[in-house]
Chains A and B, each alone.
Chain A
Amino acid sequence: MTEVVSIASRVSAHETLRGSAGRGHIRIDGVSIVFGSGRAAHQAVTSTTLDIRPGEFVCILGPSGCGKSTLLNSIAGYVRPSTGEISVDGEAVSGPGPDRGMVFQQYSLFPWKTIRENIAFGPKVGGRSATECGSIANTFLEMVGLTKFANAYPAELSGGMQQRVGIARALANYPSVLLMDEPFGALDAQTRLMMQESLLNIWSEFGTTVVFVTHDVDEAIFLADRILIMSASPGSVIADLKVPLARPRSLEVETSEAFMELKRSCHEKIRAESLRAFQQQAQ
């Protein structure tokens, strides 16, 4: 491919980068999720109702095992709610689909595909031409700063780079919703901070709705417009907090008074909830 062609296609792809803006309205209506049946039945999520606005960045925060992944997976369409309904932009979710991009914690790239092929996978199975796939791949390789690694295999990349590819791969379908399940949970602290900043940059360019699961309070506050705190067994949303921090945010914000205030309040809610769960178990 000549340089002229690739630049031209990159420009046209950039124009559509905000194509997802205005879409991505998630409605969760009275959803509860039960695994198993009879005696072995386990309620992972209890009657949850939520409304997530287009373009909103929402963090779901809660301790391990409280049902965060289950709730996210039900939006993704991997798990069917036992009761209630989920819709995105008015359309009921009935299974996984390319309108909802998913980023997993780790090891989710196709190891036998190069970075370029991984990123172009969505457009390719969606029936786009090879040329289109190529230019989309270039756009997103550049966006996550991995153009140099286009022809490498995932195993040759560090954990942080692999997650950047995972984000690029999900976004290459121009989804209206980006679902992320502790995507930085397996990274070291330094890389993690860098990834958070670069995710915010990407999101501000993209404008897609993001639902981000984490158990790290700092991460949730730094990233989100809105934090949903989940309680343990049975999982339900016990607090819905707005994050009053201006954007664009940089890491300095983490030492601001507003940040500290919110952090205190999150910890308080989580502690009260843990205590309640603990007493419940003791009875």
Chain B
Amino acid sequence: MQKALRETVAYTASPPSAGPAQAAHPPVDAPPKSDGSQAARSVQAAVTHALAALRGNAYGLAVGTLGLFIGIVLWHLATTHSVDFYVNFANVPPPVQVLDALIRHLQDLRFYVHIQVSVQRIATGFLLATLLGVLLGTLMGRSRLGRALFYPYIEVLRPIPAVAWIPLAILMWPTDEASIVYITFLGALFPIVINTMHGVEQAPEVLVRAAKSLGASRMQIFWHVIFPSALPSITTGLAVGMGVSWFSLLAGEIISGQYGIGYFTWNAYSLINYPDIIVGMLVTGALGTISTYLVRLGARPLLKWQRKAR
């Protein structure tokens, strides 16, 4: 976990390379004109753009699809032949059955209730983690006292996996709901704190000096220099935190509660309804991916300057 985290930090710290789609842009966007032929031309340009991007990605897309297809075929063969070579496929449902179950559930309102409950827990836990995480991370990155005070807590508590918190969480919080949200919150908190702290620390000194010489106060330096320079790192923290909060949530839902996609998955196992296990897993994966993408999408307008690099 820690290693992955550091790698993502390093990834965003390096300047973003312009993709093939961006390279085609002129350095400065011409002011948009609103006459018809111009509009038609810009639509045409956009289409050419999209096609070029697609062609650039076509190779990756083709290989990816082929790989997935091979995987599904192997899965199918392993289950239909009941392969039992250390790993036992005898009780694993074949892909067709899983697809069947998935389609059935997608037409069932109760399934959406599970999804809705999980998404709500994620939203609450993640939002709280974002507020507290950015605040703590900023304090730790900017103030020596803040760091001395909070860093020991973060370092001691961070390696404890969400699952280990479950018994105590159940004892501490008045309701199951609160304990599940708490665990979700904890999962997201640490990546956000750590990435915010590093981002805030790494604000270039020359920019702080420039702002001082231009007459900026401490607060103005924070809002105009420190915070924007930490934003790419904070965004990474939020994206990683979103992923971690999903697997914390699942752990929580498996142990307690009557709703949620984690509960659905575990319940399918208890009821010997094996295709549903895989349905639950796939839906969890999809929700995790979508929500992480939404986090990055939400941060995009604030990071526009980064993608404009030559």
8 Å CB contact of B308 from A97, A126, A156, A169: A156
User: CB-CB < 8 A to A149: which residues of B?
Assistant: 28
Q: Is the CB of B211 within 8 A of A121?
A: yes
8 Å CB contact of A152 from B27, B213, B220, B229: B27
A110–B228 Cα gap in the complex (Å)?
Answer: 9
Q: Is the CB of B305 within 8 A of A125?
A: no
B224 within 8 A of A: yes
Q: Is the CB of A102 within 8 A of B308?
A: no
B207 within 8 A of A: yes
A77–B204 Cα gap in the complex (Å)?
Answer: 18
Interface of chain A: mostly helix, strand, loop or mixed: loop
B309 within 8 A of A: yes
Distance in Å from the Cβ of B103 to the closest Cβ of chain A?
A: 46
Who on chain B is nearest to A154 by CB? B305
Q: Is the CB of A96 within 8 A of B310?
A: no
On chain A, which size bracket covers the interface? 20 to 34
Given A112-B228, A156-B310, is A98 in contact with B209 using a C-beta cutoff of 8 Å? no
User: CB-CB < 8 A to B228: which residues of A?
Assistant: 110, 112
Q: Is the CB of A104 within 8 A of B305?
A: no
- Residues in A179-220 with C-beta less than 8 Å from chain B: none
A100 within 8 A of B: yes
Q: Is the CB of B310 within 8 A of A125?
A: no
Looking at B217, B231, B305, the one whose CB has the most chain A CB atoms below 10 A away is B305
Distance in Å from the Cβ of A28 to the closest Cβ of chain B?
A: 18
Q: Is the CB of B213 within 8 A of A76?
A: yes
A122–B215 Cα gap in the complex (Å)?
Answer: 6
Distance in Å from the Cβ of A120 to the closest Cβ of chain B?
A: 10
- Residues in A129-183 with C-beta less than 8 Å from chain B: 148-149, 151-153, 155-156, 169-170, 173
Q: Is the CB of B309 within 8 A of A126?
A: no
Distance in Å from the Cβ of A250 to the closest Cβ of chain B?
A: 30
Q: Is the CB of B215 within 8 A of A155?
A: no
A149–B310 Cα gap in the complex (Å)?
Answer: 14
Distance in Å from the Cβ of B32 to the closest Cβ of chain A?
A: 12
Given A148-B28, A149-B28, is A110 in contact with B215 using a C-beta cutoff of 8 Å? no
- Residues in B199-240 with C-beta less than 8 Å from chain A: 204, 206-207, 209-217, 220, 224-225, 228-229, 231
8 Å CB contact of B28 from A104, A156, A169: A156
A69–B307 Cα gap in the complex (Å)?
Answer: 33
User: CB-CB < 8 A to A108: which residues of B?
Assistant: 206-207, 209-210
Who on chain A is nearest to B15 by CB? A155
Distance in Å from the Cβ of A19 to the closest Cβ of chain B?
A: 16
Q: Is the CB of A125 within 8 A of B217?
A: yes
Q: Is the CB of B224 within 8 A of A107?
A: no
User: CB-CB < 8 A to B308: which residues of A?
Assistant: 152-153, 155-156
Q: Is the CB of B213 within 8 A of A121?
A: no
Distance in Å from the Cβ of B26 to the closest Cβ of chain A?
A: 10
A78 within 8 A of B: yes
Q: Is the CB of A173 within 8 A of B206?
A: no
User: CB-CB < 8 A to A122: which residues of B?
Assistant: 214-215
Additional 18 contacts, C-beta under 8 A, given A77-B212, A112-B231, A151-B28: A78-B212, A96-B209, A97-B215, A98-B213, A98-B214, A98-B215, A100-B213, A108-B206, A112-B306, A113-B224, A121-B211, A125-B224, A148-B28, A152-B27, A155-B309, A155-B310, A169-B210, A170-B213
Interface residues of B (CB under 8 A from A): 27-28, 204, 206-207, 209-217, 220, 224-225, 228-229, 231, 304-306, 308-310
21 contacts between A and B (CB under 8 A): A76-B209, A77-B212, A98-B214, A100-B213, A101-B214, A104-B209, A107-B206, A110-B207, A110-B224, A111-B305, A112-B231, A113-B224, A113-B305, A121-B211, A122-B214, A125-B211, A126-B215, A148-B28, A156-B308, A173-B214, A173-B215
| Nearest 10 Cβ contacts at the A-B interface | A98-B215, A96-B212, A155-B309, A122-B214, A102-B213, A112-B228, A125-B216, A112-B305, A153-B308, A153-B305
